Every structure is written in C-alpha cells, then in structure tokens.
Amino acid sequence: MSRIILHSDANSFYASVEMLLNPSLRDKAVAVCGCVEDRHGIVLAKSEKAKKAGVKTGQANWQATQVCPNLITVPPQYDQYVKFSKLLRNIYLQYTDLVEPFGMDECWLDVTGSQGLFGSGESIAEDVRQRIKSELGITVSIGVSFNKVFAKLGSDMKKPDAITVLDEEHWRERIWPLPVSELLYIGPATTRKLLNRAVCTVGDLAKIPLEYLCNWFGKNGLMLWAFANGEDVSRVMFNGYESPIKSVGHGITCTCDLQKCEDVWRVILELSQNVGHRLRLHGFAATGVRLGIRGSDLNNCQYQTQLRLPSQSPFEIARAVYELFQQRYRWMETIRAITVTAINLVPSKRPIQIDMFGEAVRNLRQQKIDDCIDGIRNRFGNHSIIAASLMGDLHMPNDGRHKVKMPGMMYV
C-alpha cells in the first residue's frame, strides 16, 4: 500500500504569531526583524501583505523599508514561537504519532495508518488545516503525497491556507516542469552546477543518466536522481525522535568588524568554550574542526581540517581553528561573523591509539584541567573562570552570554 505523507507549513509563522498577539497589526505589512544594534538587522519573517510589496526574508531592514515604506517592523519573540510550535504539534499528534519536525513551523506527518479513523489523506489535511485556523488563529499550507519530498514540494506550491495533492498517477505532469531549484536539498550551489550542464527543470534532472549524476555529485547524485523520479523512501520519524549529533558548532556576528588576527583569536577562543562544553555534555569528541567566516561584504567561506587526536578541549579546538584561519584566510575584507564547529564526532570514551612522543600525555593533562574548569563553571556559573586573553572588549553582543569582566572572576 502506498504511503500517505503530509507536510504542514505554517504560513509566515513568526509574523502570524505577532499579528495574533497584537491584533492592531492584522492586515498590515509586518516584518519580524533582528536587532540593528547587534548587527542582526535583517528580515526574519514577513506577512503576506509585506511579501506582496516585495519584502524578502534575509533583506536588511533598510532595504525592506525602501521597497515597502509603510512596513511595520517588530522584534522577535522566540518564546512565543516555541509555544505556538508546540501547540501545532499537539494537533498533529491527534492524528498520528509519526510526526517529524522540519524546523519550528514545519512538520511531516505519516497518516498511512490513520485513514481508517480519519478518512483519506486529503480529508485529514483539510481537517488539520481548519482546526489550526479556528483553534490557533494561524494558517497552514499542506502538501499531500506518497513521499516526504513531494509532500514538502506540495506545501510550497500553493500558499497561503491551501492544500495541494500530488498523487502517484499525475505527479510527473505537475512536478517535472518545475525549476530544479524547487526540489528539496537543492541549494544555490547545486542549482548553479546543474544549470551549467543545461539541467533546468526537475524533469531534466530525472532523465539524466544516474552515472552522470554520481560523477558530478558523488553519492548525493543518487539522492537527487531518486528525488526527481519520485523514489524517496525516507521514513517519517516518530514523535520525540532525535537524530544523531553529527557536529557541534557556535557562531556569532560581531558588533564591529574584526581587523586584526588577535581579535579573531579571542573570538575563536570564546566560541570554542561553548563548543567544548557541549561536546562534554553529550559525550563526544571531535576528530576535525570547521571554521566559517562571513566578511564585511557578506560573502561566506568555510575551511576545515582534521585533528591529530580526538579532543573535547576548548583550547585544542581553538588552536586548531586559529591555525586553519592563519593558513587559509586572506585579509581581503574585514570579518563580520565567525563560526567554530566540531565535526566528525566520535564517542569520548572510545579507545584511541596513543603516540610515542608524549602528545597523549599532554592531552590527558589538558583534559584534567578542562575537567576542573568545567566543574568550577557548573558550580559558580559559565563566566566564573575564563582565559585571561578574553579580558576586555570582544566585539560581541552584550546578550548575557559574553560578559567578559565581572567581580569574582578567575582568569587562567
């Protein structure tokens, strides 16, 4: 029996919640925007009216107000968005326990086994849509199909407050003419590669010989071919499922551009404190690190390297990332944002092959120091002990997580 998969996407979720909380905003052009003072001044979400006026997610606040002079901007209220996200999920769970989140405002539902109780997939989708509208006061667009990829595509095809069915008999006529960029997991870089090879639509992608795609994209080529040909067999995971942790990262947009290597080191060291703590919390060690940099021109670049031995140490991670920075980054632009990520994780208790030159002994000594520091922070707070090099202004937002000098601190 064919599966029946729904993908429910709350329309303009952040903006819809804001208009629900403040009825005076209804039927107006509204955008939820980041804080300009912390250099996060971009559009996070917009209402349908703002969208029609040309406001786009990711635009700078000033750009959004240029295209829509009567735009009303409001700051985000994440606690409210989390609350409504849980309320949405509670409704979904009344139809099936196979509910897999895809972000805060989107979920897949496998209702294959629910049809005997609630009717066809389209009937369930209509019931869900009407209940959310009447009970929560927001709208959703729902795609109904036989796999997750097409259900997601369906929810994007008609907005807002709509249902789109893509069945096994007629999906080719509706999906294959679409631009290839509409397919799930095909981002700008993959789209450019495909367009350079005259692959413009989903149908073009479906007809490319599989061996060609594998040559172009490796194992991802097989996934793209399967998606385009309707052969996605991935499951909708049960409620509460947590995917295995593959990486641990932390990034920040600095309050002013970094222009010196010393400032970059201090930001990397501060970010690595958080990464190391979370590795220890989850029982993982990193065998590699990745550095992400956004320049003042808003272009992004990433570099990564392997570590000699698996590590949880914030200092070891920071040192490896900084060496990577010195080797690879060219100061063409000042630096606006930095992200440090621990990658290729392994269980921290897994035995490792030590070397003959004392590095394992040194790492063990460092681990004892990190254990001691972690214990102090757990007892007295995250900023009860910090590296001396982090004293002073880190050019970071004052959001409570990056206070750098307080009475009673210990400096190491």
Peptide bond preceding 314: is omega within 30 degrees of 0, i.e. cis?
no
E-strand stretches of 112-160: 140-145
Give the integer Cα–Cα distance in Å for 132 and 90. 10
**Neighbouring C-beta atoms of residue 181, cutoff 10 Å:** 16
Q: How far is CA 352 from CA 45, 349, 355, in A?
A: 47, 9, 10
What would you measure as the largest C-alpha separation in the chain, in angstroms?
A: 70
The closest of 24, 113, 5 to 74, measured between CA atoms, is 24
Give the integer Cα–Cα distance in Å for 18 and 81. 9
Give the integer Cα–Cα distance in Å for 321 and 244. 24
Supply the Cα-derived Rg of the chain in whole angstroms. 24
Q: How far is CA 75 from CA 15, 21, 35, 146, 306, in A?
A: 10, 13, 7, 39, 40
Active site residue 182: no
Give the integer Cα–Cα distance in Å for 138 and 131. 10
Give the integer Cα–Cα distance in Å for 183 and 231. 13
Give the integer Cα–Cα distance in Å for 110 and 146. 9
User: Is 24:125 a contact under the CB 8 Å cutoff?
Assistant: no
Give the integer Cα–Cα distance in Å for 20 and 290. 40
Q: DSSP assignment, residue 384?
A: S
Choosing from 18, 100, 106, 270, the catalytic residue is 106
Q: How far is CA 296 from CA 41, 262, 335, 354, 371, in A?
A: 14, 18, 6, 42, 37
Give the integer Cα–Cα distance in Å for 132 and 156. 18
The closest of 66, 62, 70 to 36, measured between CA atoms, is 62
The set of catalytic residues is: 106
